[in-house]
Amino acid sequence: AAAASFSAPGAPRLWLLLPQLFQFLQVHGPCQGSMFMWIDANQARILIGFEEDILIVSEGKMAPFTHDFRKAQQRMPAIPVNIQHVNFTWQATDQAEYFYEFQTLRSLDKDIMDDPTVNVPLLGSVPHKASVVQVGFPCRGDQDGVAAFEVTILVMDAGGNIILRTPHNAIFFKTCQRAKCPGGCRNGGYCNERQVCECQDGFYGIHCEKALCSPRCLNGGLCMSPGVCICPPGYFGPSCERANCSTTCLNGGTCFHPGKCICAVGFEGSRCELSKCRQPCRNGGKCTGRNKCKCSKGYHGDLCSKAVCEPSCGAHGSCVEPNRCQCRDGWHGRHCNKKQEIRCNARVLPWIF
């Protein structure tokens, strides 16, 4: 059904731009899971005027119209002024694992357009849940003109094998207009009649040049686009909140800075490998401080070596396990509170005269 949309009379040829960003994607087959990429119906309606999903990659195979990119690039039109970004949807199915890296996002005419943007980390894994990748074209707004920009992306499988089809990078063109706002509005911002930039969600600043990350990027991370932090070496996580320790923190310790651990209660050392208790806590007890044990239920004592019997075994028994008494000779019962009766077998002896 999607092919009919491309041949419709008067439809723009902008669709030729879309598959080229990811034209080299190829997987080993559906038996190990696969990869899909498409443009959803809403995005297609904006681009070509027809509200239909457009498949680019299906079960690891490129759609037929995406193969001859070199010829398509020669007649490819520039992206119009009114289109600030293009959305792709991608998904790795079943247990398939694929990893991607945006190696190049570069404007070749920086006086007209800034470097293109993406709303995902530059390095990561293709999600198993259908997710949107948005490629943005940030015109500077300083002058009219057409800017060229380059996009290079690599995708590899779980074995580290690069999945590549030629060419693996692409040059695109974007038409930009001089904005009424001095300095222009970036990241899809709109210059209103008051000559003030109205920013897209997730951006702020006079020129919409600043991204908003909530929660904020930690440990010196840089907010590149809404909700996307670029972490400095040694840190990772959505907000750069996790440190990458060269050695593992033991006994429940947490890495909070490259090579440094916060130890759980009762442990110390550079890797939390040392217990603060000189003698180990017994019967499941936990060391909570210098030679202090927190005992599990049913035990007590400095080392949690003594069992607890409730009620107690009294004066005639000792508690050997939780709620289990060992009674002394002559006593019995659950709590050693019953005295054994001694019965004598009487014998009648005849009198001897």
DSSP secondary structure letter of residue 133: E
Q: Kindly state whether residues 29 and 170 are assigned to the same domain.
A: yes
Q: Quote the number of domains for the chain.
A: 2
189 in any annotated domain: no
Question: For residue range 32-60, what is the model confidence (pLDDT) as tens digits?
Answer: 567 777 878 887 776 666 777 777 666 65
Contact 101, 58 (CB under 8 A): no
Is the pLDDT reported for residue 1 higher than 70? no
Residue 139 to residue 187: CA distance in whole angstroms: 8
Question: For residue range 260-310, what is the model confidence (pLDDT) as tens digits?
Answer: 788 887 788 888 888 777 778 888 888 877 778 888 888 888 888 888 888
Residue 99 to residue 161: CA distance in whole angstroms: 10
Q: What is the mean pLDDT of the chain?
A: 76
CATH code where residue 117 lies: 2.60.40.2170
Is the pLDDT reported for residue 129 higher than 60? yes
253 in any annotated domain: no
Greater confidence, 155 or 3? 155
Phi/psi of residue 4, nearest 5 degrees = -65, -30
289 in any annotated domain: no
Q: State how beta strands 299-300 and 292-294 pair.
A: unpaired
Which of 36-40, 149-153, 185-189 is the least confident region?
A: 36-40
271 in any annotated domain: no
Token pair listed for 267: 């442990």
Predicted local confidence at residue 178, as pLDDT: 78
Is the pLDDT reported for residue 5 higher than 80? no
Band of residue 147 on the pLDDT scale cut at 50, 70, 90: very high
207 in any annotated domain: no
Q: Kindly state whether residues 19 and 160 are assigned to the same domain.
A: yes
Predicted local confidence at residue 35, as pLDDT: 73
Q: How far is CA 303 from the centre of its chain?
A: 42
- Closest Cα to residue 208, out of 192, 230, 231? 192
Band of residue 166 on the pLDDT scale cut at 50, 70, 90: very low
Which of 23-37, 122-136, 287-301, 325-339 is the least confident region?
A: 23-37
Query: Which amino acid would we find at residue 35?
Result: M
Query: Which amino acid would we find at residue 238?
Result: P
Predicted local confidence at residue 107, as pLDDT: 95
Which of these three, 125, 156, 178, is where a domain ends? Answer: 178
85 in any annotated domain: yes
Predicted local confidence at residue 214, as pLDDT: 80
**C-alpha count within 13 angstroms, C-beta hemisphere, residue 330:** 3
* Beta-carbon contacts of residue 199 (< 8 Å; ≥ 6 apart): 185, 187, 189, 205, 208
Q: Which domain holds residue 325?
A: 308-338
Predicted local confidence at residue 113, as pLDDT: 92
Which of these three, 152, 178, 204, is where a domain ends? Answer: 178
Which of 47-51, 63-67, 235-239 is the least confident region?
A: 63-67
Residue 87 to residue 131: CA distance in whole angstroms: 10
- Closest Cα to residue 79, out of 53, 54, 108, 47? 47
CATH code where residue 317 lies: 2.10.25
Phi/psi of residue 153, nearest 5 degrees = -140, 140
321 in any annotated domain: yes
200 in any annotated domain: no
Question: What is the pTM assigned to this prediction?
Answer: 0.45
* Beta-carbon contacts of residue 15 (< 8 Å; ≥ 6 apart): 6, 47, 48, 54
Which of these three, 178, 210, 238, is where a domain ends? Answer: 178
